[in-house]
Amino acid sequence: MEGTNRQLRLARRPVGMVDDDTFELVEEPLRALEPGEYLVRTVYLSIDPTNRVWIREEPSYLPPVAIGEVMRGGTIGEVVESRNDAFPVGIAVLGMLGWQDYAIGGGDVLARPVPPGVPLQQMMSVFGTTGVTAYFGMLDVAKPQPGETVVVSGAAGATGSVAGQIAKIQGARVIGIAGTPDKCSWLTGELGFDHAVNYRTEDVGARLDELCPDGIDVFFDNVGGAILDAVLRRLALGARLALCGAISTYNEEDQPPPIHWYMNLVVQRARMQGFLVLDYLDRFPEAVLALVEWVGAGRIHWRDHIVEGLESAPRALNMLFTGENTGKLMVRVGPDPAG
């Protein structure tokens, strides 16, 4: 196909939040496809806290994005040209195809078809990586039991909101921690959480003392730092802590502040376990099936937050750290496929 591809390439490693100098918008002509390749037009770009981790110097669970490389990112797009029978023109595909208008799939660049009939936005949010992360983190790692007290940090976000609702479905009592009154009202209203704590305006420790007089059985942590410490101090016997992420630390250059109350893990015979959704790739269908059933039954609600235009991706990334996003954050790079 003739045309131009716009790409956001990493120009320099940021200190703190990303800024106008972090990425460079580059245009280059599309090249002809080789046999086995297919051209994907990006429709939605997933904006994830881990994007910020990937542009740090130090290696994480994936190697850092190199300077000059197209920014790594999860995408959903439409195949618009193909020399691969398994990826015909017109199908939608999911993949890690990066911050660009078009990507060439095939060879080392992997994508998989979106199941027919699933709206693309939902495939990126409630049935996407964040929904699946919530499923495995809650059910495979934390394992809440009926009547137990579950606390979720980052509770109004894409992952936390689904995690808390899954704990409710298991019969637990659920307390969400979030950063605005609107988010807290959403948690205790539409989502059915038992309580919500606004960490920006309330004393989290004092509120947890009030709401969890017998301690915390399960903690699903998206935030780390002081909130993790406040929970560690209030563990119940046999507590389980599922460490999903630590967004409070991703923009920091310095070592994170010390965790003071880890000794409570010993005292309360508790288990703290980190997990990565990537380790569950072969079990994704199990999670998606369960989520589809719960959504269909009206037991799981979610929000999508759409920002328009590829060039907005860096600004969108910062929204995750200021809390401006309400729900799963994604950038609409191009129009939804017809039909």
Ligand X SMILES: NC(=O)c1ccc[n+]([C@@H]2O[C@H](COP(=O)([O-])OP(=O)(O)OC[C@H]3O[C@@H](n4cnc5c(N)ncnc54)[C@H](OP(=O)(O)O)[C@@H]3O)[C@@H](O)[C@H]2O)c1
Judged by CB, which is closer to ligand X: 102, or 302?
Answer: 302
248: Cα within 13 Å, side-chain hemisphere: 17
**How far apart (Å, rounded) are the C-alpha atoms in residues 109 and 258?**
40
Judged by CB, which is closer to ligand X: 10, or 178?
Answer: 178
The yes or no reply on residue 125 touching ligand X (CB under 6 A) is no
Judged by CB, which is closer to ligand X: 106, or 157?
Answer: 157
Site for ligand X (CB under 6 A): which residue of 245, 287, 332, 333? 245
Residues 2-61 that bind ligand X (CB under 6 A): 48-50
Site for ligand X (CB under 6 A): which residue of 100, 130, 165, 318? 130
**How far apart (Å, rounded) are the C-alpha atoms in residues 314 and 55?**
12
CB distance 47 to 331 below 8 Å: yes
The yes or no reply on residue 231 touching ligand X (CB under 6 A) is no
Site for ligand X (CB under 6 A): which residue of 43, 158, 187, 196? 158
Using the contact rule CB under 6 A, the part of the chain among 29-37, 67-75, 242-250, 259-267 near ligand X is: 242-250
The yes or no reply on residue 176 touching ligand X (CB under 6 A) is no
DSSP 71: P
**How far apart (Å, rounded) are the C-alpha atoms in residues 206 and 84?**
59
- Burial per residue of 242-263, b for 16 or more beta-carbon CB atoms within 10 angstroms, e otherwise: bbbbbbbebbeeeeeeeeeeee
Judged by CB, which is closer to ligand X: 40, or 247?
Answer: 247
Which residue matches tokens 């401006």? 324
Using the contact rule CB under 6 A, the part of the chain among 75-83, 87-95, 175-183, 233-241 near ligand X is: 175-183
Residue 44, SS3?
strand
Torsion angle defined by CA atoms of residues 132, 316, 325 and 292, in that order, rounded to the nearest 10 degrees = -30
Site for ligand X (CB under 6 A): which residue of 92, 152, 156, 166? 156
207 membership: H or E segment, kind and range? helix 204-211
Question: Per-residue x/- marks for ligand X, 296-325, CB under 6 A?
Answer: ------------------------xx-x-x
CB distance 62 to 130 below 8 Å: no
Torsion angle defined by CA atoms of residues 46, 52, 57 and 62, in that order, rounded to the nearest 10 degrees = -40
Q: What is the closest distance, in whole angstroms, from the C-beta atom of residue 98 to ligand X in the complex?
A: 18
Q: What is the closest distance, in whole angstroms, from the C-beta atom of residue 7 to ligand X in the complex?
A: 23
Total residues interacting with ligand X, rule: CB under 6 A: 31
CB distance 144 to 217 below 8 Å: yes
The yes or no reply on residue 73 touching ligand X (CB under 6 A) is no
Q: Is 193 left (phi over 0), alpha (psi -120 to 50) or beta?
A: beta
Site for ligand X (CB under 6 A): which residue of 14, 77, 131, 179? 179
Residue 202 phi/psi, 5-degree rounding, is: -115, 160
50 membership: H or E segment, kind and range? helix 49-54
The yes or no reply on residue 128 touching ligand X (CB under 6 A) is no
Residues 207-226 that bind ligand X (CB under 6 A): 222-223
Q: What is the closest distance, in whole angstroms, from the C-beta atom of residue 329 to ligand X in the complex?
A: 6
The yes or no reply on residue 159 touching ligand X (CB under 6 A) is yes
Footprint on this chain of ligand X (rule: CB under 6 A): 48-50, 129-130, 133, 154, 156-160, 178-180, 183, 199, 222-223, 244-245, 247-248, 275-277, 320-321, 323, 325, 329
